[in-house]
Structure 1
Amino acid sequence: MIEIDAKLLRNQSAVFLCGETVEVFITISNHSLPEHKISQSNVDAMEHLAWASVQINGYCKTQQVKNIQNIQQTLPKTSLNIHENSILSTEPKILFCDLRLANGESRTYYYREQIPPNSPPTFKGIDIKYYYKVTVATQRVGSRVQLLQVPIRVLPLLQIEDKIELPAPCDELTNEELSPTNPFLENDRKVVSKVEIALENLQMITARRRPNFYVITNRRGRVGRFCLFKPSYKLGEDIVGTLDFSCRIVKSVQLSVTLQCEEIMLTKASKSPVTDKDAKAPIGKITNFTKHHEICIGLLQTQMILPIPLHVTPSFTTDLVEVRWRLHFQFVTTTNEELMTFDGPVDSNWGAPKEIEIETMIWNLPINLHSTNPTQIFQPQIIN
């Protein structure tokens, strides 16, 4: 019996950014017979494998079959590109040819491949799904091809422009840099990859605090003022904001804030959102995540904290779908005079009215959600 073990070199996380390199250790072992049943001839316990190859495959499941077929025409025609939903397929790398393993013998191979930078991220939506797998294929002589697929998660990479390294000014040059250089020695200057530059820019963008104030009003007047401390966030961060009701004209009874993901399907021809003929607004499927709910009938100020889950997909756009993130506010307001500030004695109790007239106000605030460092997401993968 042949056993194939695949273990990612990044054993604490099976999450990668677009453009990163996936590294896998593949071990092939022969467990044909127990040791006490091995015959004197080694040929009886030998396993003969014709070949084995590895590649990364990307898949897409959606109702728009025609668009997938058009994308599929640009894929390389390989022996492992047999799935009808394939949208990405790297060139297969051959691990071995004509391998013979005795009982108890094993061989370990090392595989590395870069994920294409422009690949769509892993996304499990309502109308469309993107997912990736590292496919190990092998064939025993006289048998059919067997596949082992290791699922991985791919996050979108922050789009950056290529930066040209400029020479340092003369006043900043050190004595070491001014000394004559030896052309026969290797240059010790570290080469920075695009992934490292993107992570640095991501850290700068999400760490920048720029408070934005929004005055919330309805047809009766001002409801309050909302402050969002920064517009861009990473996976795993907390969205923190404050609500000020001291400037209100309309009284709020309660409020709720929900972190929502909006999935908008796009048309292939114009790459524009599918719109409703009557409302002429993008038709998107909404998925709710974390929620903050609070009774604010007697509050002048309050705050909300919404944690961003690590398992969600940041904002991205492809030819088929556009994924956006927003904060969905719901204010329950009233104009009942009995809910005004109590002017009675301090030692007396205030009784709320049994019935009040209310109105529900809805407000959506778009936010920017980016990826995070993949090593900070714990998602181990060991496939046998």
Structure 2
Amino acid sequence: MKRGGFDLLIVGAGPAGLSAAAEAAAQGLGILVIDEFPEPGGRMLGQFHEEKGKWWVGRRAAEQLIATCRKLGVEIRSGVSVYGMQRVDSHWVVRTSCGPLTAHSVLLATGAAEIPQPCPGWTLPGVMSIGAAQVMANVHYVKPGHRGLLIGVNPLALAIARELAVSGVTIAGIVLPGPGPLTGKEAGPKENMERLMRLSHMAPSPLLRMGGRAAFALGMSGLVARFFPKRGVKIWDIPLKLRTAALSINGANRAESVTLADINGRGELISGSEREEAVDFVALAGGLYPLAELASIAGCPFVYAKELGGHLPLHNEKMQTPVEGLYVAGNITGIEGAQVAMAQGQLAGVSVCADAGVLGERREAKLTAAMEHVRRVRAGALIQFHPDIPEARSRLYQMRESWSVN
């Protein structure tokens, strides 16, 4: 540990932050991990999915990482918020709810936030984000309701819909948001069908997986959307309805029903098709964006990459930003799954150690191995939130190499 502070302060005790802490602590660095959530683990605590016939359980992975960190002497403080940070001479001063903290280097592993999906009636009790429903059911073991509807079709909605179903929550269906200026292409059957075809590897049967890949390769998303059954198709016994849109959420004192309507293949409402779907909770799935405000406060330049979820701090493949002593890892660098975030965290830990001069002759070999591990995990990731992620990251890394900060 540096005199008067830590070698590395990590903001975010999720998959990226904990993995980085374990890697850097194993090389002898003094590490402090802080997180505003009451317990470490991040979103892993509520995640699980089936992969190649086996279940990946996020809580189990989090518990293993936490145990490893504590065994290596990593200090973890939960319930701590960060509201400022500044580089002073050769160290960082990070201002938190428990007072100022100092460290030679800082890793931001703050993750992602959900994109609000406005809908008439969305302020009623019983209406929540899809992530909130996940936390209620899988972290606190409280069902969000008896019968719910999911509004929004994207990888996050599909993944959490299955988690909720496995947890015993009844899902009446997954429908599109109503057409309007705020929903844009998110309300289009063709665009959603194309997104689903890219996710055909997640389909519950070999026939659906092959059919989805073939249709996408042939550019048939518009045709498939046009002839998609009005009643939808069942995925994991959950009705997926690409020809149905949610117009409003209704109720006197809480969500009691959703007004639905049929839409044609172009996303246009079919007059006279309006009807009520009785539910007691609604989950809105608008997707995710990088939670990167602290990088902006630290003076890091930003870039926009649609394939990675929006605006994100500029960084290279080694997770270094142009700001001295500032690193990033996980969903702050682009929206991907927990396993990719863990690999990125490990790489960030290696990068910090390399810059700290503690790896000696192993420096280049460890960096190369860690970068290759991230590429390998990314290539095999079951859940991919956006298409063309490797290409977008390649462009981003090229931009970082040509950028300098005084």
TM-score scaled to structure 2, two decimals? 0.20
TM-score scaled to structure 1, two decimals? 0.20
The structure whose residues are more often strand, as a share, is 1
